[in-house]
Amino acid sequence: MTVIGVLGGSGTVGRVVVDRLTEYGLGRLRVGGRDLDRAAAVCRAFPQATAEPMRVDLHDPQNLREFCTGCDVVVNCAGPSYQVLDAVARVALAAGAHYVDAAGDLAAIDALESAPPPELDERAAVFSAGLMPGLSGLLPRLLATGPLARLDVYVGGAARIGELSAVDALLTRGPQFGTALAVWRDGRIVPGALAPLRAVTLPGFRGRVHAWPFLSVETARLAADLGVGELRNYTVYVTEAIPRALAAAWADGGPAERHVPAVVAAADADIAATGPYYTLLFQAVPAPGQPAGPDRPRRLLLQTPDSYALSGVVAAITVGELLEGRIKPGARAAAECLDAADVFARLTGDPLVTAAELH
């Protein structure tokens, strides 16, 4: 019988992965975490599943190998992703398993491909199988039914940020992650071309919000793949608390960990202002001369009350695609190997999606 290992299975993302894999009936589950009692509690919460808890420490190579051995797929929901990079993927692949990472980014893929393990010839390692990166690079492809003059991407809202996620937010900066204030135009990155949009109204966002331009590596690759004339990517905040906390931390320097409380508190302030929600909004402008019609949608909107939980849904869907043989061997991002229409259709029926529009 198929065995699927879920690392970080007692966290917000991992619990959803366990829940959806149980619902999909994809196989036996091995739920791993540093706290065995918490992992066991997750297993008990899904009595209909065949699940076993296992204590595992990502920083203990032998312990990690024992967890991965016997698994057909290993799903990593633990972090922070800047520390994990390709370490878990290498162990999983060597143990004979496919690998799915609910986070990770191009930096992790590059690390794995810098010295590619021979197992990649037969198995897949899929990174960024979450909301952002992930859905943020996958769903806009549904708008590319013809040449596009421009594509605008807005992703954000109010979401609680845990300590590990705060560390990721503080450290995921630099050219391997993206370029602030940049736009993709005429086939290249143009730095410093955009300014923040303050106190604006956007479809799917509550009240006036603040949109900060950040051309991520994911969206730059998307623009190149689709041949978009111009792509603008914004991270949206309901207040300016998080941008201020991040800016203060980067200006101060020093260990990222000492700035974590300020970032966590800023996220809590956002939730207090609007309540929890997260929106993905994509708006396309067709190239001149392109006909309009219902088969050529120009806007896609998706909303969830919990961005981290929805990442778990995406990771679980990716596992299913792997087991069905629809993802080829090798290392790649989820946005570049999942079917956008199929994923969108499945998300519209998921209870974690509160709004889904394509028109």
What residues does CATH 3.40.50.720 cover in the chain? 3-130+308-339
Q: What is the pLDDT of residue 172?
A: 72
Sign of CA dihedral 21, 172, 107, 92: negative
Fold held by 3-130+308-339: Rossmann fold (3.40.50)
Q: Report the C-alpha gap between 263 and 242 in whole angstroms.
A: 6
Q: What is the pLDDT of residue 120?
A: 97
Q: What is the signed CA dihedral for 287, 288, 294, 296, rounded to 10 degrees?
A: -20
Count other Cβ atoms within 10 Å, centred on residue 230: 17
Fold held by 146-296: Dihydrodipicolinate Reductase; domain 2 (3.30.360)
pTM score of the predicted model: 0.95
The helix (H) or strand (E) run that includes residue 152 is strand 148-158
Q: What is the pLDDT of residue 175?
A: 64
Q: What is the pLDDT of residue 162?
A: 84
For the chain, 359 residues long, the average pLDDT of each consecutive 10-residue run is: 95 96 95 95 88 92 96 93 89 98 91 96 97 97 95 96 81 77 97 97 97 96 96 97 90 83 94 97 92 82 97 98 97 97 97 97
What residues does CATH 3.30.360 cover in the chain? 146-296
Q: What is the pLDDT of residue 174?
A: 64
Q: What is the pLDDT of residue 257?
A: 83
